[in-house]
Amino acid sequence: MQHPITPETRLATPASRLMHAMFRRRDPVGWADYHCVEDADGTFWVHTHGLRRRHLPDMEIAGVPHDMRGHAHQVLFGIAAHARTERPLSAHGELEGVFSAPSQNFRQAVTLYRAPHEDAAHGALLRIVDRDQPMESGFPRRLFASHLAAWAELQPDPARREAMCRRSLALFPGFFLEMNAGAGLRPDDPDLTDLQFRANLSACITLAGALFDQGRAREGFGYLEQAVARCPAWGRIHRDHILRHYRGEDRYYYFWREADITEICLRLRPANSMGMAPALAGTAGPDARRA
C-alpha cells in the first residue's frame, strides 16, 4: 500500500524527530516515522517506519476511528518502549505490559500478526489486535478502552475524566464475569489485569468518581453498581477493604457501607449469569451475613 509522505500523514517533522533522537533519546517519538493515513471507510491506518533501526519491528493499527488517532500514536509509543526495554516483539505472538500510564494497576495484552502487505515499504509490519483475536478483527477495542481508562485516572478535570471513561465504555462495555472472578485479589495492591480486560472495570470505577466530583451522586452510584454486577467477588473484597481502611465520610464510602452485593447482582446481572458468589473470609456488611 503506497501513500505520500506529507505533513498530514506524518506525526512529527524530520526536525522534531531529530531533536527527540538527540536530546530525548528514551522518547519513542524520535525512534521512527509515525504515519496516519485515512482509508476509504473513514477510519485510519496508523503505522511506523524506521523502528528496525532500534532493532524493533515496525507496527500498525488498522481501522482507527477519527477521534482515536492521537491515542493510536500513544499506544504505539507505549508498545515500542515496552518492547525496547522488556521483551522483543515477534509475529504471531502475544505481548503483555503497561503501555499507557505508569501508575495503572492493570497490564494490557495484544496479539501480533504479520500484516498482509506485499509492497516493500510495508511488508514487514506487525499488526496489533486484541489478545486472542484474529488478524481480520481490525481495531483493538479492548486495548484502546483500557488505554482511555488508564489516562482518565490521571485527568484532573472531572468533566474530561467523565468523557474519557464514557468513550472507553462505548468502545468496550465489558462482560458480566463469573461470580468468583477476582476473588483472589489483594485489596491493598490489586492487579486488575484480568478484570479490566474482560469487564472494563476501571472505566466504571473512574467514571463513578468523576460523577461524584461533579455532584452527580445518583449517576455515580449507578456505575459503581455496574462494576459490582460485572465483578461480584471483586466487589465483596473491595467493600471489605473500604470499610476497614477508608477514612473519608464521602459518597464513595457511603456506597460501600450500604451496598448489598447480592441484591445488586439479582437486579443487574443477566438471568443466565446468576449464581451465588462464594463467601469470603472477613467480608463485612449486611450482604456478607446472607452469603
What are the structural domain ranges in the chain?
14-140, 155-290
Three-state DSSP at 154 gives coil
- Judge whether residue 66 has pLDDT over 60: yes
CATH of 155-290, picked from 3.30.70, 3.40.50, 3.20.14, 1.25.40, is 1.25.40
pLDDT for the residue 35: 85
Question: Which tens digit of pLDDT belongs to each residue from 81-135?
Answer: 888 776 666 666 889 999 999 889 999 999 999 988 877 767 789 999 999 999 9
Q: What is the DSSP letter of 29?
A: G
Compute the half-sphere exposure of residue 166: CA atoms within 13 Å on the CB side of its CA: 10
Task: Give Dmax (Cα) for the chain.
Answer: 66
Give the CA dihedral 78, 79, 81, 84, nearest 10 degrees: 170
Q: d(Cα 74, Cα 59) in Å, to the nearest integer? A: 13
pLDDT for the residue 219: 97
Report, as an integer, the average pLDDT of 281-286: 35
Question: Which tens digit of pLDDT belongs to each residue from 198-235?
Answer: 999 999 999 999 999 999 999 999 999 999 999 999 99
pLDDT for the residue 248: 77
The DSSP bridge partners found for residue 36 are: 46
Question: Which tens digit of pLDDT belongs to each residue from 15-44?
Answer: 454 544 554 455 566 668 888 888 899 999
pLDDT for the residue 30: 65
Question: Which tens digit of pLDDT belongs to each residue from 132-165?
Answer: 999 999 999 999 999 999 999 999 999 999 999 9
What is the chain's mean pLDDT, rounded?
84
Backbone phi and psi for residue 94, each to the nearest 5 degrees, phi listed first: -115, 150
